[in-house]
Amino acid sequence: MDLLLIPAFIVLLILILLVAPALLLYAIPIRAAVSLTWNRDRRETTLLISWGCIAIRSSGSGAKRVTTVLFLDHPVLSHTGLIETEDPGDRNEEMLSDPGPGGEGTGDIGELIPIVHRMIGPVGTFGSVFWHQSRFEEARGTVTLGLLDPVLTGEVYGWYWASRFVLLASRIDIEMEPVFDRAVLELDITVRVKVMHPLLVLIAGLSLVTDPATKEAAAYALRRNQDVCGS
């Protein structure tokens, strides 16, 4: 009898190890905060994603991005990297100039259109799940705005204050500071959202990744990248 309890205990332990993370992913929401600071002296974007006591913060300023893993708000791992930039105009010119099998200047458009069409269903399903599980929490910050024309600046400022109560009711608390003597746009805004049941989004994401249409699109993108790099 005791020998039968050992495999039963092992099976129970395996079930607990499998079920417990799934229950935690379902019960504990994921919170995300996007901060944008944009002025003459500083242009920085920060993304903070937290789940329970674990968080990942990624801050980018100029060509440098710092990614930090936090546990109970204390950094435990950090990585600094450079952001590689590419002129999208050059890439578009390369793709359009490639004659491809569809004729001169058409590239692989004839192959791309059916791939995009098949992707609509899987992407729409994932987007629907993500939309229903997401909750907007708040947006806070300040905006400094100057349109050089004092009259136009005053009108925009008045329109903003006319909609102020509606914005506050929608948990959007952004102060606007008008500047009447010069053209300026400075932002310091933080937007917070929450994903109620991350497990459902994860399942939808896995379904999207494993869908044949997604694999076909990934293969197409890889093939195009190899063609461009080899040309």
Tally of domains in the chain:
1
Q: Is residue 193 part of a domain?
A: no
Tell me whether residue 78 is in a domain.
yes
Q: How far apart (Å, rounded) are the C-alpha atoms in residues 16 and 123?
A: 33
Tell me the CA distances in angstroms from 25 to 28, 33, 220, one per residue in order.
6, 19, 33
- Please indicate, yes or no, if residue 51 is contained in any of the structural domains: yes
Tens of pLDDT along the chain (231 residues) come to: 566 677 777 877 887 877 888 888 899 999 999 999 988 888 889 999 999 899 999 998 777 889 999 998 899 998 888 765 555 455 555 444 454 444 444 455 667 788 888 888 999 999 999 999 999 999 999 999 998 888 999 999 999 989 988 989 999 999 999 999 889 999 999 999 999 999 999 999 999 999 998 888 888 888 877 766 665
Per the domain annotation, does 65 fall within a domain?
yes
- Could you tell me if residue 76 is inside a domain? yes
Tell me whether residue 152 is in a domain: no
To the nearest 10 degrees (0 to 180), the angle between helices 109-133 and 198-210 is 170
Range of the domain at 36: 31-84
SS3 20: helix
- Asked if residue 26 is part of any domain, the answer here is no
